Amino acid sequence: MTGTEASPYPSILAGMAVGAFTRAYLLRADFRIYPTYPHGWVTHLSLGVVAALLGAVIVPAIAAREFAAAAFVALAAQQFREVRAAERDSLAALEQMERVARGADYVEGIARVFEARNYLSMLTAAVASGATHVLGWQVGLAAGIFSLLVAAGFRQGRQVGGIADVRAAKLHFEETLLFVDDIQMMAVGLQESRRYLLRHGRGVILEPRDLDARATLATSGQRQAIAHDAAAAVGLRKDYGTPEFTPLVRVDLDTGRVGLVIVPIHNSISALVEGVRRVPLLESARRRPLGSAGAQ
């Protein structure tokens, strides 16, 4: 049997398999250790299976004129928006305990990603299920693989290394003022702290490649994300009562270059530079002055 006369179960199972695999493929924990594992993974994988089931049943349900089932999918989308709110609230609560906070822009970006990936799981399941139901399992398999490859393109967004050149830089003091190359960072009053910074501190310079990159790196949300991910990449020698060892990101107002100073646990400057390159570009922090009418 083919078309609407075919049994819906093979198409539903095919859609569920593709959708669940999509969510598992998009889920990963890197040096930022989020989501935590295994409990964080269980939560998101379970939601991915639910999303895959919803996507897998939508085409067979419409073909069988079961429009109530299709309406149920719209209700489920509301629940996925609640996932975004729950992630945001959870991360915001953890911010108080972070030695280097992610910042509101980063938290919102993470919450938005987890919501969107449930939709991707649902869509890939719907494509695979619909193709299997209408055209057979061979076409359904091909459609599922294609939709999975499309979804895989959303696994990795743009990174700081794509808009700026990142390089190691030298720390030095002029009296009490700390500099990263020629970018003034902060004043450090205690002589002991100055010696510690020179001995253990590391500096990085980010040179934006165009005006859009300069405007993006100048936003406070993007700079806070750089500080957080740098600390996650190489660790941080900082305790309560030592605010001068907090990672600091400053902008040179004349050139748009960005300086970072950090006191890492892992002293590899190459690891620090690579960690900064891999900092995600936050959607809420992106600026495009070159595309504005004023810049043209």
What are the tokens at 158? Answer: 């743009």
pLDDT value at residue 68: 74
For residue 34, name the pLDDT band (cuts at 50, 70, 90): low
Residue 253 exposed, middle or buried by CB count within 10 Å (0-12, 13-18, 19+): exposed
pLDDT at 269 over 70: yes
pLDDT at 28 over 90: no
pLDDT value at residue 30: 56
pLDDT value at residue 5: 56
Beta strands in the chain (DSSP E): 164-169, 171-174, 177-180, 183-187, 202-208, 248-251, 258-262
pLDDT tens digits, residue range 185-243? 999 988 999 999 999 999 999 999 999 999 999 999 999 999 999 998 899 988 777 88
167, β-bridge pairs: 205
Q: Please give the torsion angle defined by the CA atoms of residues 66, 68, 71 and 75, in that order, rounded to the nearest 10 degrees.
A: -130
pLDDT value at residue 1: 42
d(CA 260, CA 76): 43
Mean pLDDT of 149-156: 80
DSSP H or E stretch at residue 130? helix 104-135
CA 243 to each of CA 94, 105, 248: distance values in angstroms, whole numbers, following the listed order: 19, 23, 10
What are the tokens at 180? Answer: 């990263």
pLDDT value at residue 3: 43
CA–centroid distance for 228 within its chain: 13
Q: Which of 199, 209, 194 is nearest to 255 (CA)?
A: 209
For residue 93, name the pLDDT band (cuts at 50, 70, 90): confident
pLDDT at 92 over 90: no
Cβ atoms of 29 and 35 closer than 8 Å = yes
Cβ atoms of 222 and 146 closer than 8 Å = no
pLDDT tens digits, residue range 54-91? 888 888 888 888 777 767 777 777 777 777 888 888 88
Cβ atoms of 147 and 18 closer than 8 Å = yes
